């Protein structure tokens, strides 16, 4: 599927090894299967491509219409100072599937199962690097053959050096990882490397019906490599450009290196704005505005509040109101929401890798309040997108977000027919209020908050004011639509 077809999708990100346990009848890929899955062990917990299929109801039940799975290619399968390659990012041969996660037929079965539900299939791909336990003597032909690497000629790598992040040439040519597990930097200028990878990616997407790619370590490869690689893939490419530099991240779209990137800048804005009670909302507003002004297509950014490299949201702040506000920003702002497995279960164990990669099954896939909140946010998006509801002649997807009002603790932004009113007040101990001076709706009209289904009256000059109770309701988020639109969207029944 291309970028246009991905517009409006909502993505669930999972680790194959950790999302679902193998069913009783499936052959175990890990032996013996660990009784419990302790992330600190950094070893396989047994999830497979087939076991993902068993739990698609759970994902679709939250309203997602796309799934991103961790890398599918073969990894080094040996003990390392960081234990084992359960995460799938230590790819030593992109061309071979990872037998730990299943067979070629299993991967096709997963793809077919997703498509049968009308869902898109996104796969994570790693081409920048190949792991080695032998950092300083890795790039010699004997060592390369022993490692089972796809690349066996030293000219297919850049010479060893560790990355200096202040220098983009170093970021592109030097090595990720460290001297325990070195990630040898592949020479993505070598013609054999380029042609092998380009024909591989076209085959992979067509063989397995892949609809989109998450491009690992995108900033570590010259952009011009990606232009051809993504064209060869024939599908939507979203790159991981880890960092807060908006101009740099936007260049991936501006220079047409790939369709889009993960919304790292907005992530930092959401953390700054909503990460702690009375955080710094002006930082969120500033980053949001710069994102909108700089990216040619902010509507294609991948918006997340946690992932496998970052702390769990609930690890940094336990206030659920802050999480619910942050998620509204994640879902309603321009872009494709991406929820990392476990976010819906309020997983809080995880100051970072490896703790943020716990198995999901101990949660019993419970129908938590957060699961329902995500479901509602997806329902609102679907309703507003499929209904084509307009504001000032523009529908949700075609309207860019505009910041309507903000204070140190609050922000109101509009995207098409929806007005999000958010706060970082958390659970305040005294009742508080916030007023949006000009909501965009006319005085005396009625609006509905799609989260609580309560009706509000628009005051003079188009003002809307909300209150935050000292107990119970607290600093909850609001998503307003006009009463007429609410009736058409049917999120709140007959209103
Ligand atoms: C292993 C062990 C860990 C151990 C670690 C040292 O080594 O498992 O326990 O702590 C994979 C595995 C990891 C593994 C690594 C290395 O390989 O998943 O478990 O860690 O062996 C991608 C993937 C990631 C993956 C790889 C490698 C790449 O998402 O899961 O890791 O294939 C950089 C890269 C980025 C990479 C990330 C992990 O490292 O750019 O592609 N992710 C700065 C830099 C970033 C850098 C980041 C973290 O530091 O700018 O480029 O990301 O090192 C902000 C700034 C940012 C700054 C952050 C920290 O602060 O704006 O610029 O980012 O304020
Ligand atoms: Ca590189």
Query: Which neighbouring-strand residues pair with 132?
Result: 182
CA 452 to chain centre: 27
Cβ 371 vs Cβ 62: under 8 Å: yes
* Ligand 1 binding residues, C-beta < 6 A: 82, 87, 89, 126, 129, 165, 176-178, 181, 183, 216-217, 240, 242-244, 308-309, 353-354
129 CA closest ligand 1 atom index? 32
126 CA closest ligand 1 atom index? 32
pLDDT at 428: 84
pLDDT at 146: 81
Enter the pTM of the model: 0.97
- Residue with tokens 């200096």, as numbered in its chain: 164
In a structure prediction context, what are the per-residue pLDDT tens digits for the chain, which is 495 residues long? Answer: 999 999 999 999 999 999 999 776 666 666 556 667 899 999 999 999 999 999 999 999 999 999 999 999 999 999 999 999 999 999 999 999 999 999 999 999 999 999 999 999 999 999 999 999 998 888 888 888 888 899 999 999 999 999 999 999 999 999 999 999 999 999 999 999 999 999 999 999 999 999 999 999 999 999 999 999 999 999 999 999 999 999 999 999 999 999 999 999 999 999 999 998 878 999 999 999 999 999 999 999 999 999 999 999 999 888 999 999 999 999 999 999 999 999 999 999 888 999 999 999 999 999 999 999 999 999 999 999 999 999 999 999 999 999 999 999 999 999 999 999 999 999 888 899 999 999 999 999 999 999 999 999 999 999 999 999 887 668 999 999 999 999 999 999 988
Q: Which residues are catalytic?
A: 216, 240
How far is the centre of ligand 1, averaged over its atoms, from the C-alpha of 171 (Å)? Answer: 12
CA-proximal residue: ligand 1, atom 38 (nearest) = 309
Distance, in Å, from the CA atom of 16 to the CA atom of 97, rounded to the nearest integer, reads 13
Residue in 178, 408, 415, 389 with CA at minimum distance from that of residue 303: 415
Pocket test for ligand 1, best of 83, 87, 89 (most atoms within 8 A of CB): 89
Residue in 217, 150, 158, 228 with CA at minimum distance from that of residue 187: 158
- Indicate the DSSP class of residue 124: E
354 CA closest ligand 1 atom index? 9
Residue in 9, 128, 107 with CA at minimum distance from that of residue 64: 9
How far is the centre of ligand 1, averaged over its atoms, from the C-alpha of 353 (Å)? Answer: 9
Distance, in Å, from the CA atom of 48 to the CA atom of 274, rounded to the nearest integer, reads 35
Cβ 187 vs Cβ 149: under 8 Å: no
CA-proximal residue: ligand 1, atom 28 (nearest) = 217
CA-proximal residue: ligand 1, atom 25 (nearest) = 89
Rg of the Cα atoms in the chain: 23
| φ and ψ of 22, to 5 deg | -65, 145
Beta pairing class for 176-177 and 129-132: unpaired
Tell me the residue length of the chain: 495
């Amino acid at each position: 599927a291309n970028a246009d077809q991905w517009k409006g999708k909502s993505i669930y990100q999972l680790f194959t090894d950790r999302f679902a346990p193998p069913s009783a009848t499936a052959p175990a890929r890990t032996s013996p299967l660990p009784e419990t899955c302790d992330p600190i062990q950094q070893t396989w917990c047994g999830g497979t491509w087939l076991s993902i299929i068993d739990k698609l109801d759970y994902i679709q039940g939250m309203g997602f219409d796309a799934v991103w799975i961790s890398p599918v290619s073969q990894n080094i399968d040996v003990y390392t100072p960081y234990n084992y390659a359960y995460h799938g990012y230590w790819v030593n041969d992109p061309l071979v599937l990872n037998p730990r996660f299943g067979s070629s037929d299993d991967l096709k079965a997963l793809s077919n199962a997703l498509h049968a539900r009308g869902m898109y299939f996104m796969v994570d791909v790693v081409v920048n690097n190949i792991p080695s336990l032998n950092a300083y003597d890795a790039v010699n032909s004997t060592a390369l053959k022993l490692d089972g690497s796809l690349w066996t000629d030293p000219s297919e790598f850049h010479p060893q050096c560790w990355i200096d992040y202040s220098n983009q040439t170093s970021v592109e040519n030097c090595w990720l990882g460290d001297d325990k597990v070195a990630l040898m930097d592949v020479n993505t200028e070598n013609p054999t490397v380029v042609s092998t990878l380009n024909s591989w990616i076209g085959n992979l997407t067509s063989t397995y019906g892949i609809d989109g790619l998450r491009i690992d370590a995108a900033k570590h490869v010259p952009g011009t490599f990606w232009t051809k690689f993504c064209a060869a893939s024939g599908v939507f490419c979203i790159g991981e450009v880890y960092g807060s530099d908006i101009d740099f991240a936007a260049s991936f779209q501006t220079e047409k290196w790939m369709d889009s990137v993960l919304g790292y800048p907005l992530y930092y804005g959401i953390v700054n704005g909503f990460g702690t009670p009375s955080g710094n909302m002006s930082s969120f507003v500033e980053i949001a505005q710069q994102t909108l002004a700089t990216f040619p297509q902010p509507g294609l950014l991948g918006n997340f509040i946690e992932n496998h490299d970052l702390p769990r949201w609930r690890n940094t702040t336990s206030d659920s109101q802050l999480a619910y506000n942050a998620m509204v920003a994640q879902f309603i702002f321009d872009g494709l929401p991406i929820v990392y497995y476990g976010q819906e279960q309020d997983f809080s164990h995880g100051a970072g890798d490896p703790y943020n990669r716990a198995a999901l099954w101990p949660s019993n896939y419970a129908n938590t309040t957060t699961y329902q909140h995500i479901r509602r946010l997806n329902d609102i998006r679907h309703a507003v997108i499929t209904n084509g509801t307009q504001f000032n002649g523009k529908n949700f997807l075609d309207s860019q977000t505009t910041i309507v009002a903000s204070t140190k603790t609050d922000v109101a932004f509009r995207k098409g027919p929806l007005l999000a009113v958010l706060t970082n007040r958390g659970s305040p101990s005294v009742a508080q209020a916030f007023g949006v001076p000009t909501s965009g709706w006319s005085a005396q009209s009625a609006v509905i908050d799609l989260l609580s289904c309560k009706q509000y009256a628009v005051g003079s000059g188009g003002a809307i004011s909300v209150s935050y109770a000292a107990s119970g309701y607290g600093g909850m988020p609001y998503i307003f639509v006009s009463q007429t639109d609410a009736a058409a969207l049917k999120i709140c029944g007959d209103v």
